């Protein structure tokens, strides 16, 4: 198809060149000449559209929206108060004796801050800060998806074209998912997708190449990070030249603390760049950013345009826990568990979600309420201690399998990073993760014999490939739930790509602690994650 399109475009280009030549050499009736010039103009416009599409394809990168896709949707009754005032009935009888006037006032003020920022003429930057695991990414995804957010921004835009997009940093992701290069490439991609007429102005060198060499646009286009930086700087910091009162921009950027620093570009460089975007063009650029409460971020953004999420989630957590524990018939026992989770959570949604998963598992196992209460009282409040408690609760066989999965996942990440350094043509991120997912059922076989993939090759039962894949994915997801207890999960993106990953960055950080690394080494003595990956992947590919 690509070769067919290439020949069609080249044929069109040759026809246009011949028409132009004939117009210069021939004396034509004025009406005929006008019609021919109109035909040429239409075809040149079609070629321009095609070339702009090629530029967009060159800017796009695999995984540009993967982290956004991975973030859990907000529970039906959590975080809505920030955009739709769903807690305005907060003092009603539904809340009983649980009314907290101070919390109500804090949430009311936070909603006022955020709404005012959305509608304000200048706006600038709004900062959502919070402890690790407090739900910042979930809230950011909710805000990006909410029609109320877009409606408010459209009111701010007035008659201008609104360009509204997002970028979610991901420390465990590819180089472009955690770097400045990835941020600016993604932002420029979405700006040009919304406003393709800006391509010639913002990427003049690239456009000149495409226009000067007709066939060039049909081969691979290379757009450097310097080209991208210059183009983005022009449109955001020189509005009078490129968007004189016709466009405005709003970017939601999640996880500034997941940005990977380099010697040349540390976190201070990142926040300075973001602030330059909106300060250079007040009234034209707005930013909503989220991060942990590290000093570099707390110092960079105004407290007047900030909400501290972990201080505001008490009732979001209560709604979530109450809904997830509906299956407990004992109302008094359920009330105790809900209040206990609420009291001990300190606003950390990750701790809550893990504990609730464990409670639901205990319920499935038939644990009675008194034993469930006693068991829960023994759970630690601190997140790393909870991770350790979950691992220690596994039986020895499952714990060893969990450690093997962790080790294989880390090797997979190293492999992907190595592929990226070799160039984009080596980066099959999604397909590699899919192979890892379908390879997991063979861990037991690998443990019995490292050469099992070759020994059993001729003896395997052959099923239709789609059925094989579906059954392996189902099996892997079930085994992961048993082995890893929610610390590693199988998921899929909006594009249907399947993958395995740590449930949260904080757990990946936990595995790097010296005592945990030592525990894994002791447990996995004689186990090679690289060899296990290659052998199980070979078995999965057969």
Q: For residue range 407-448, list pLDDT tens digits in order.
A: 988 887 777 766 666 554 444 444 455 556 767 777 777 777
pLDDT average, residue stretch 101-109 = 83
405 close to 394: Cβ distance less than 8 angstroms: no
Helix crossing, 225-237 with 180-194: angle to 10°?
A: 60
pLDDT top residue among 354 and 37: 354
| Per-residue pLDDT at 395 | 92
**What are phi and psi for residue 23, nearest 5 degrees?**
-65, -35
| Per-residue pLDDT at 93 | 42
What percentage of the chain exceeds 90 in pLDDT?
42
| Per-residue pLDDT at 243 | 59
What residues form DSSP beta bridges with 252? Answer: 166, 288
CA distance 250 to 255: 17
The overall average pLDDT reported for the chain is: 81
12 close to 43: Cβ distance less than 8 angstroms: yes
| Per-residue pLDDT at 55 | 92
**Around Cβ 1, how many Cβ atoms within 10 Å?**
5
The DSSP call for residue 348 is -
Please enumerate, as own/partner, the contacts of 460-467 that have beta carbons within 8 Å and a separation of 24 or more: 460/542
186 close to 234: Cβ distance less than 8 angstroms: no
pLDDT top residue among 6 and 249: 249
Banded model confidence at residue 4, pLDDT cuts 50, 70, 90? very low
Q: Which of 394, 416, 406, 388 is nearest to 527 (CA)?
A: 406
| Per-residue pLDDT at 209 | 82
533 close to 540: Cβ distance less than 8 angstroms: no
Per-residue pLDDT reduced to its tens digit, 38-67: 554 445 556 788 888 889 999 999 889 989
Per-residue pLDDT reduced to its tens digit, 7-28: 555 565 666 666 656 555 555 5
Q: Which of 335, 347, 340 is nearest to 376 (CA)?
A: 340
Does the pLDDT value for residue 91 go beyond 50? no
CA distance 420 to 477: 28
pLDDT top residue among 251 and 323: 251
Which of 61-65, 130-134, 177-181, 473-477 is least confident? 473-477
Tokens coding 33: 């000449």
CA distance 69 to 64: 10
136 close to 254: Cβ distance less than 8 angstroms: yes
| Per-residue pLDDT at 326 | 86
Per-residue pLDDT reduced to its tens digit, 165-209: 999 999 888 899 999 999 999 999 999 999 999 999 999 999 888
453 close to 532: Cβ distance less than 8 angstroms: no
Tracing tokens 């809900």 back to the chain, one arrives at: 338
Tokens coding 357: 């998963």
CA distance 216 to 221: 8
Give the helix/strand (H/E) hosting 498: strand 498-502
**What are phi and psi for residue 247, nearest 5 degrees?**
-135, 155
372 close to 477: Cβ distance less than 8 angstroms: no
Does the pLDDT value for residue 301 go beyond 90? yes
| Per-residue pLDDT at 532 | 83
Sign of CA dihedral 351, 357, 360, 362: negative
**What are phi and psi for residue 499, nearest 5 degrees?**
-160, 165
**Around Cβ 64, how many Cβ atoms within 10 Å?**
19
Does the pLDDT value for residue 34 go beyond 60? no
40 close to 19: Cβ distance less than 8 angstroms: yes
The DSSP call for residue 367 is -
**Cα–chain-centroid distance for residue 370?**
41
pLDDT average, residue stretch 94-111 = 73
| Per-residue pLDDT at 458 | 46
22 close to 189: Cβ distance less than 8 angstroms: no
What percentage of the chain exceeds 70 in pLDDT?
75
Ramachandran region of residue 347, left (φ > 0), alpha (ψ -120 to 50) or beta?
Answer: left
Banded model confidence at residue 268, pLDDT cuts 50, 70, 90? very high
CA distance 355 to 537: 33
CA distance 510 to 387: 8
């Amino acid at each position: 198809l690509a070769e067919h399109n290439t020949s069609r475009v080249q044929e069109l280009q040759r026809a246009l060149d011949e028409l132009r030549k004939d117009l210069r050499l021939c004396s034509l009736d004025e009406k005929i000449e006008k019609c021919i010039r109109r035909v040429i103009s239409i075809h040149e416009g079609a070629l321009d559209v095609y070339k702009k599409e090629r530029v967009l394809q060159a800017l796009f990168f695999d995984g540009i929206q993967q982290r956004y896709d991975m973030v859990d949707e907000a529970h039906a009754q959590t975080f809505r108060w920030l955009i739709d005032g769903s807690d305005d009935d907060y003092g009603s009888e539904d809340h009983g004796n649980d009314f907290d006037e101070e919390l109500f006032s804090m949430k009311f003020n936070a909603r006022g801050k955020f709404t005012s920022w959305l509608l304000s003429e200048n706006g600038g930057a709004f900062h959502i800060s919070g402890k690790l695991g407090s739900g910042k990414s979930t809230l950011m995804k909710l805000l990006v998806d909410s029609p109320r957010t877009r409606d408010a921004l459209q009111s701010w835009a007035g008659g201008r074209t609104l360009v509204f997009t997002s970028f979610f940093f991901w420390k465990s992701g590819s180089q472009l998912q955690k770097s400045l290069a990835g941020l600016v490439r993604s932002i420029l991609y979405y700006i040009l997708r919304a406003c393709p007429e800006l391509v010639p102005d913002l990427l003049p060198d690239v456009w000149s190449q495409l226009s000067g060499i007709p066939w060039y646009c049909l081969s691979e286009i290379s757009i450097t990070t310097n080209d991208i930086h210059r183009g983005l700087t022009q449109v955001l910091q020189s509005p009078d030249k490129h968007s004189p009162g016709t466009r405005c921009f709003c970017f939601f950027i999640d996880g500034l603390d997941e940005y990977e620093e380099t010697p040349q570009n540390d976190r201070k460089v990142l926040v300075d760049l973001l602030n330059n975007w909106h300060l250079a063009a007040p009234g034209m650029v707005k930013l909503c950013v989220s991060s942990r409460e590290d000093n570099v971020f707390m110092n960079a953004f105004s407290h007047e345009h900030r909400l501290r999420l972990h201080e505001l989630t008490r009732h979001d957590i209560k709604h979530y826990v109450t809904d997830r524990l509906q299956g407990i018939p004992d109302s008094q026992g359920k009330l105790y568990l809900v209040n206990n989770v609420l009291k001990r959570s300190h606003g950390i949604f990750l701790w809550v979600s893990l504990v609730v998963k464990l409670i639901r598992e205990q319920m499935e196992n038939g644990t009675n309420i008194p034993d469930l209460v006693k068991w829960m009282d023994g759970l630690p409040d601190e997140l790393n201690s909870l991770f350790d408690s979950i691992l220690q609760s596994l039986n020895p066989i499952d714990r060893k399998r969990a450690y093997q999965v962790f080790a294989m996942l880390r090797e997979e990440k190293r492999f992907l990073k190595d592929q990226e350094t070799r160039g984009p043509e080596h980066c099959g991120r999604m397909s590699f993760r899919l192979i890892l997912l379908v390879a997991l059922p063979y861990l037991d076989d690998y443990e019995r014999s490292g050469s099992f993939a070759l020994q059993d090759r001729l003896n395997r039962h052959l099923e239709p490939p789609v059925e094989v894949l579906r059954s392996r994915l189902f099996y892997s997801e079930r085994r992961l739930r048993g082995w890893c207890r929610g610390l590693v999960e199988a998921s899929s993106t909006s594009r249907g790509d399947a993958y395995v990953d740590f449930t949260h960055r904080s757990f990946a950080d936990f595995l790097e602690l010296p005592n945990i690394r030592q525990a894994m080494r002791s447990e996995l003595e004689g186990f090679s994650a690289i060899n296990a990956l290659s052998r199980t992947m070979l078995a999965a590919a057969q």
